[in-house]
Amino acid sequence: MSREQSYLRMLETSAKLQLNMALMLEAKALEAEKVRNWVGHHVNPDAFGSQQELLQESMDIHDQLIEVIDGLSKLGQGMSSVMKVVLRHDQEESGDMMGGMEGLFGGDFGMGGDK
C-alpha cells in the first residue's frame, strides 16, 4: 500500500469516526434532556434527608458529565492528530515541489551576470 493510500484510509476512517461521534453526541443530547427533566423533578431538597445527601447526588451527576466531556475532548484530540499528520504530509509534498523549482530560479545556473 502506498503512502497516499494510507493517508486516504486515515482520512476515510477519520470521517467515519466523526460521523459516529455525531451520532453519539445526538444520542447523548437526547439522554441529557431526559436526565435534565428527571433531575428537575426528582432532585430537590425535599427528596433528601440532609443537605449533604443532596450535595453528594449533585456532585455525582456533575462527575458523570465531566467524564463525558473529557472523553469527547480526548476523541477530538485524537482526530486532530490524524489531521495534523495528513496535513503535514501535504505540506511536505508541496514544499518538495517548490524546492525543486527554487533550484531552477535560485541562480544555480549562471547566466553570466554574476561574474
- pLDDT at position 103 is 45
How far, in Å, CA of 93 to CA of 4, rounded? 11
- The answer to whether residue 104 is domain-embedded is no
Q: What is the pLDDT of residues 18-38, one digit of tens each?
A: 899 889 889 988 998 998 898
Q: Is residue 103 part of a domain?
A: no
Whether 54 maps to a domain, the answer reads yes
Task: Quote the pTM value.
Answer: 0.56
In a domain, 115, yes or no: no
Give the domain range for residue 60: 3-98
Q: How many domains does the structure of the chain reveal?
A: 1
Closest CA to 43 of 33, 56, 32: 56
22 lies in a domain?
Answer: yes
Q: Which of 82, 107, 76, 92 is nearest to 11 (CA)?
A: 82
Tell me: the pLDDT tens digits for 48-69?
888 898 889 889 988 988 998 8
**113 belongs to a structural domain:** no
- Is the residue at 112 inside a domain? no
Looking at the domain assignment, is residue 9 inside a domain? yes
